[in-house]
Chain A
Amino acid sequence: MNKEIEKLLFNPIRLKAISFLMTVETCNFKALLDITESSKGNLSIQLKKLNAAGLINIEKYFQKSYPTTDYSITKKGKNSFEEFYKQLLSLK
């Protein structure tokens, strides 16, 4: 298991965000705020870290003149999460 990924998912907000993204096609920032029960600023920083590691995609666009951001998990994110989850189960 990649130590960098393990370290990234050690943070509960990042772990909640990636677990949620594993179960949905896409979601917006508000849905992630609700699920992680975090503050806007903190969540934004954690999502940027996941994006920088290539685990999630961040797509920004305008909807009815309002800026909107969609989040989804990448293939690398899925594989890393599955590996991480299997490892957790094996250590249980």
Chain B
Amino acid sequence: MTKEEQLSIINDTIKKTKYNLKPLGYNLVFWGVLIITMSLFHYFFPQIVQFTYYSSLIYWVAIPLLGMVYTTYYNINSGNKLGYETQLGRVIRIIWAVFGLSWISIVVLNLLHDANPVQDILFLLSTVLIMSGLIIRFKPVTLGGVGLLIFTIYTYYVPDINFLLVNVVGITFGMLIPGLALYLLKKDE
């Protein structure tokens, strides 16, 4: 084997290793649909969600926790199917796992202090989306994050805004649309 052949083997092998973008797209779509559905249900049926003092806390913690269990299971399965984890994939996985834990913490702390967690969560989500988009070099995710950040800042200047509708608009443009774009993308990074 010549030196050129050895270099060619190395370069070809490296080129074959790609970070699979589909699972991240699926995760964004899943969470987008879940949160939008939960927000709309809360908006149209407040008497059910706010039936008791702690029922909305349970609603906004228990269902996302179940969602986390499902997406963790999905991500482990898709990782096993692929058979390897790239450094890029590991970074994205850690970022979103930390975001998931922060999300639950923000919801619990805000609801226990009678505050609305929507703006805090959307702010955190926008920064995580910008980070993810820049890391995977995928503009729709980065732009979705920037749009969500601008929208979240805007909500601080609008008095008496309905946070459930803010959630629906923010998650649609920040998570659902970029997630669909990523999921339907054919190439991998």
Q: Which of A1-42 contact B (CB under 8 A)?
A: 9-10, 12, 15-16, 19-20, 22-28, 30-31, 34-35
Interface pair B86/A23, CB less than 8 Å apart: yes
Q: Is the interface of B mostly helix, strand, loop or mixed?
A: helix
B interface bracket (residues with beta carbon within 8 Å of A): 20 to 34
Question: B13 an interface residue at 8 Å Cβ cutoff?
Answer: yes
A interface bracket (residues with beta carbon within 8 Å of B): 20 to 34
Interface pair B9/A24, CB less than 8 Å apart: no
Question: A88 an interface residue at 8 Å Cβ cutoff?
Answer: yes
Smallest distance from the beta carbon of B79 to chain A beta carbons, Å? 10
Q: Which of A25-80 contact B (CB under 8 A)?
A: 25-28, 30-31, 34-35, 63
Interface pair A31/B7, CB less than 8 Å apart: no
Chain B residues contacting A15 (CB-CB under 8 Å) are 6, 9-10, 13
Interface pair A31/B84, CB less than 8 Å apart: yes
Question: Could you say which of A16, A27, A89 contacts B84, with CB atoms under 8 Å apart?
Answer: A27
Q: Is the interface of A mostly helix, strand, loop or mixed?
A: helix
Question: Could you say which of B7, B17, B80, B82 contacts A88, with CB atoms under 8 Å apart?
Answer: B7
Distance, CA A20 to CA B86, complexed state (A): 10
Interface pair B85/A35, CB less than 8 Å apart: no
Question: B1 an interface residue at 8 Å Cβ cutoff?
Answer: yes
Chain A residues contacting B83 (CB-CB under 8 Å) are 27-28, 30-31, 34
Interface pair A25/B86, CB less than 8 Å apart: yes
Interface pair B14/A22, CB less than 8 Å apart: yes
Interface pair A23/B14, CB less than 8 Å apart: yes
Distance, CA A35 to CA B52, complexed state (A): 57
Distance, CA A27 to CA B4, complexed state (A): 27
Interface residues of A (CB under 8 A from B): 9-10, 12, 15-16, 19-20, 22-28, 30-31, 34-35, 63, 85, 88-89, 91-92
Interface residues of B (CB under 8 A from A): 1, 3-4, 6-7, 9-10, 13-14, 16-17, 80, 82-87, 89-90
